[in-house]
Amino acid sequence: SAPYNHKVIEKKWRKYWEENPVNVNDGKKPKYYCLDMFPYPSGSGLHVGHWRGYVISDVWSRYKMLKGYYIIHPMGWDAFGLPAENYALKMGVHPSVSTAENIANFKKQVKDIAAIYDWDMEINTTDPEFYKWTQWIFVKMFKAGLAYQKEMPINWCPSCKTGLANEEVVNGECERCNSPVTKKNLKQWMLKITAYADRLLNDLDKLDWPEKVKKMQSEWIGKSYGAEIDFAVDGSDKTIRVYTTRPDTLYGATFMVLAPEHAMAKELATAENKELVEEYIYKASMKSSVDRLQDKEKTGVFTGSYAINPLNNKKIPIWLSDYVLADYGTGAIMCVPAHDERDFEFAKKFDIPIVQVISKDGKEDAELKEAYTQPGIMINSDRWNGMDSEKAKKEVPDLLEKQGIGKKTVNYKLRDWVFSRQRYWGEPIPIVHCKDCGAVPVPEEELPLLLPDIEKYEPTGTGESPLANIQDWVNTTCPACGKAAKRETNTMPQWAGSSWYFLRYVDNKNDKELVGKDKAEKYLPVDMYVGGVEHAVLHLLYARFYTKFLNDIGVIDFDEPFTRLFNQGMIGKDGAKMSKSKGNVISPDGLIEEYGCDSLRLYELFVGPPELDSEWDDRGIEGVYRFINRFYNLVVANKDKTLEATEEMIKIRNRFVYDITTRIENFNLNTVISGFMEYNNKMIDLAKKAGGIDRDTLQTAIILLAPFAPHVSEELWSQLGNTGSVFDNTWPEYDEDKMKDSEIEIAVQINGKTKGTLMIPAEASKDQVLSIVKETMADKITGTIIKEIYVPGKIVNIVVK
Ligand code: ANZ
Ligand code: ZN
């Protein structure tokens, strides 16, 4: 019969599945929601790196389907935001046009994966029927006091000409274009994610997520305990509040540093120091955050003023330096050079005294060569002397609070989320600014507030979005009082839609509710979420925040969106991440043409452990292609034989099921593929010995392969004379008793030297084994036996004299 022809087979089964969907919701099966992080449809299309996550999630979905679940496996498009707008600008077209083209192209490419996506559930974040609800959530947050305006210095990308969230600044650079990020004072919409800090932290315990990701989130939230302490300014009635996590070192505070942006920075400058101070403040404002953080050498300026250490009333100089951040803690710190590395460096450079207050053994060091950051015994600290520093750390905040010097605090690194962008391609923020009523939300029944269709959408760079120039859109009336008012012109960040999209798939046509209660209850939350680890903080944290909020206002009845998370590693080529700019992108199209979808699916898994980064090698796909051919030929050659299964066949079949099942369950998907190759070889050997392979074993092998290589599995299933789909089956079971060998090989030693091997019955007892050995090896055992050692299943050692 005909050899394996992927083109014919794949075309045939695609058509079959279109007419006979395999993933059916009969209302009785339990649901399993397996979600991909939806793609951002860029202009360059899908490459084999994108495929990896989609293949993993599809294999998992199909496996669960065979295990008896109805699978929710949707796909959609995350299409608002900077990259799409930058691409459109570059191509000289409107973003709505390029976005639609990119989506069409992506969809075509995604379909090539042959995943069981339910396209009836498709969503697109730029579709007004979708972003109506993105805006609705904003209005609800506004009404709940969680969306508010604030004038503040925000991260500003001079190249993208827009403000950025902290999460979008990576090592001081714009996540999108890698330009150094600067600061700009702008009135911003903020989302109060900090109100959820404790829940976002504590609920990590509930999640079946990689520990690494949970750790990144908890560090990002960054909860710490400390104290705020007020220092009086010498010769004035003013005080400066500092935030410290080490109030136990208060006796060692020999100077104070304020961020250059601190509200009191200028007024603290004495006449003599005024000029230098102002120059320093100006220079700091011009520096990008990269430079501020990466500066090797500490810089600073003395204000000329002094503060009073509230414990010992000593005068300490007040400096300004940009190593203190304006928007963390209070923007001012007490500096303890003996025990903090940055303070140590600063004190050395500017010749400020260093007072040690903790030492290893209670004795002061002759000279500190570096900051001593370990625990120890308190010294130079008056009545705290001799105390264990760890104990002091715990008790001092209370002591200070009792003395009225400070107040215990909990601090978080997490900031509120800067939610406005000064760009065109995003959801308009549904707010109207009225002179009398202030910020008024657009009435919920008027949503969506459509993004106006305009020709000139280039960023202005003035801090205003291009929407500000469209007079007939901007000028409106106040929904509260009816007087003339102006629309908010900022748009939402790209993350807005992706923070809740997973809820919408299951009820994407509902124009009354974000998601209907019945559907939410039946199909949500997500059971398995598959995507790249680069979203560990941003997207996953925002999505958790939105879910908790929607839970609080009664839209959904759960408060964590993704029960289980799997992060696939990236695919690289020639040691570098695959990217268009590096010119090392491999498109799946040519590989599908030459080897077929099934082979590409297998190779995406075979390339390496799914959670690790792996190197792509085009030659590797030939190996899996050969395997498919060999398996195909084996099944076809044996399809008409009526053979009784031998004991050996039954054993191999059960082991096969066991190995593949346990490897899938452990997500060792690359070893699943090597397992197929290994068992295929075993079956080929067996066929030679026994004149063929029994039908049960062949059918079992085909079902096992089906989630991985669905087309060829369907084809072989039907070649065996079956009707319907291979996915009508249930996942095969294994019987551990039948996996055991009937005979095993053991080594025989005399006086520790190996003399040969013997086959013995697998179930034989020690006595039985020894008697078999003594009988067969009688001629070799000369002398008196003084000891007999049996290592079960492995070795017999006879010691003679
Ligand atoms: C005195 C001290 C002594 C400190 C010592 C540390 C060690 P985390 O854990 O990150 O919250 N700090 C406070 N606000 C700051 C700001 N706006 N910019 C830069 N540094 C700031 O760290 C809190 C510690 O970082 C605080 O405790 C403060 O220095 C510094 F041996 O106060 B510490
Ligand atoms: Zn009004």
The preferred substitution site among 340, 346, 380, 410 for testing ligand 1, maximizing ligand atoms within 8 Å of CB, is 340
Q: Which residues pair with 598 in a beta bridge?
A: none
CA of 494 to the centre of ligand 2 (A): 30
**What residue's CA is closest to ligand 1, atom 27?**
244
Give me the residue label for tokens 């076809």: 636
Integer angstrom CA distances of residue 688 from 186, 493, 634, 647, 743: 77, 63, 11, 15, 21
Residue 261 and residue 326 in contact, taking contact as beta carbons nearer than 8 Å: yes
CA of 241 to the centre of ligand 1 (A): 13
Ligand 1 atom closest to the Cα of residue 411 is: 11
429 has pLDDT over 70: yes
pLDDT band at 291; cut points 50, 70, 90: low
Report, in angstroms and rounded to the nearest whole number, the Rg of the chain calculated over CA atoms. 34
The preferred substitution site among 245, 262, 372, 390 for testing ligand 1, maximizing ligand atoms within 8 Å of CB, is 245
Q: Supply the pLDDT for residue 372.
A: 96
- Judged by its nearest atom, the ligand closest to the C-alpha of residue 486 is 2
CA distance 599 to 677: 13
* Mean pLDDT across 328-347: 95
Architecture per CATH, domain 224-411, reads as Alpha-Beta Complex (3.90)
Between 33-42, 87-96, 169-178, 252-261, the lowest mean confidence (pLDDT) is in 169-178
Residue 262 and residue 309 in contact, taking contact as beta carbons nearer than 8 Å: no
Which ranges in the chain are annotated with CATH 3.90.740.10? Answer: 224-411
* Mean pLDDT across 745-772: 90
pLDDT band at 623; cut points 50, 70, 90: very high
Can you say how many angstroms the Cα of residue 516 is from the centroid of all Cα atoms in its chain? 28
pLDDT digits (tens, 9 = 90+) for 645-666: 998 999 999 999 999 999 999 9
Ligand 1 atom closest to the Cα of residue 373 is: 31
Q: Supply the pLDDT for residue 288.
A: 66
pLDDT digits (tens, 9 = 90+) for 472-505: 999 999 999 999 999 999 999 999 999 999 999 9
Q: Supply the pLDDT for residue 662.
A: 97
Compute φ and ψ for 491, nearest 5 degrees: -115, 175
Q: Supply the pLDDT for residue 676.
A: 98
CA distance 535 to 512: 31
Q: Supply the pLDDT for residue 292.
A: 67
Q: What is the CATH number of domain 135-212+416-487?
A: 3.40.50.620
Integer angstrom CA distances of residue 615 from 110, 152, 577, 585, 596: 22, 45, 9, 12, 21
Percent of all residues in the chain with a pLDDT value above 70, rounded to a whole number: 99
435 has pLDDT over 70: yes
pLDDT digits (tens, 9 = 90+) for 24-83: 999 999 999 999 999 999 888 888 989 999 999 999 999 999 999 999 999 999 999 888
**What residue's CA is closest to ligand 1, atom 5?**
340
Residues lining ligand 1, judged by CB closer than 6 Å? 224, 243-246, 249, 324-325, 328-329, 331, 333-334, 336, 339-340, 411
CA of 333 to the centre of ligand 1 (A): 7
pLDDT band at 339; cut points 50, 70, 90: very high
3-state secondary structure string, 652-693? HHHHHHHHHHHHHHCCCHHHHHHHHHHHHHHHHHHHHHHCCC
Q: What is the CATH number of domain 741-800?
A: 3.10.20.590
**How open is the CA angle 179-180-184, to the nearest 5 degrees?**
110
The structure tokens listed for 38 are 């939806």
295 has pLDDT over 80: no
Which ranges in the chain are annotated with CATH 3.10.20.590? Answer: 741-800
Superfamily designation of domain 22-124+508-582: HUPs (3.40.50.620)
- Judged by its nearest atom, the ligand closest to the C-alpha of residue 432 is 2
**Global ipTM:** 0.93
CA of 245 to the centre of ligand 1 (A): 6
CA of 195 to the centre of ligand 2 (A): 29
The structure tokens listed for 562 are 């993704």
Q: Give the CATH class of 588-738.
A: mainly alpha
Spell out which residues have Cβ within 5 A of ligand 2, the ion. Answer: 434, 436-437, 478, 480-481
- Give the chain's mean pLDDT: 93
pLDDT digits (tens, 9 = 90+) for 97-121: 999 999 999 999 999 999 999 999 9
CB under 8 A, 24+ apart: contacts of 613-619: 613/569, 613/570, 613/571, 613/572, 614/569, 614/570, 614/571, 614/572, 615/571, 615/572, 615/573, 615/574, 615/575, 616/48, 616/49, 616/571, 616/572, 616/573, 616/578, 616/586, 618/586, 618/591
Between 233-242, 396-405, 424-433, 674-683, the lowest mean confidence (pLDDT) is in 396-405
The preferred substitution site among 219, 221, 246 for testing ligand 1, maximizing ligand atoms within 8 Å of CB, is 246
259 has pLDDT over 70: yes
pLDDT digits (tens, 9 = 90+) for 192-205: 999 999 999 999 99
Q: Supply the pLDDT for residue 165.
A: 75
Between 145-149, 388-392, 682-686, 701-705, the lowest mean confidence (pLDDT) is in 388-392
Query: Annotated binding residue at 580?
Result: yes
- Judged by its nearest atom, the ligand closest to the C-alpha of residue 356 is 1
* Mean pLDDT across 675-682: 97
Q: Supply the pLDDT for residue 290.
A: 61
Q: In this structure, what DSSP letter does residue 388 have?
A: B
- Judged by its nearest atom, the ligand closest to the C-alpha of residue 327 is 1
- Judged by its nearest atom, the ligand closest to the C-alpha of residue 231 is 1
CA of 436 to the centre of ligand 2 (A): 5
Compute φ and ψ for 31, nearest 5 degrees: -90, 155
pLDDT band at 293; cut points 50, 70, 90: low
**What residue's CA is closest to ligand 1, atom 32?**
244
Between 201-205, 463-467, 626-630, the lowest mean confidence (pLDDT) is in 463-467
pLDDT digits (tens, 9 = 90+) for 4-31: 999 999 999 999 999 999 999 999 999 9
Which ranges in the chain are annotated with CATH 3.40.50.620? Answer: 22-124+508-582, 135-212+416-487
CA of 423 to the centre of ligand 2 (A): 26
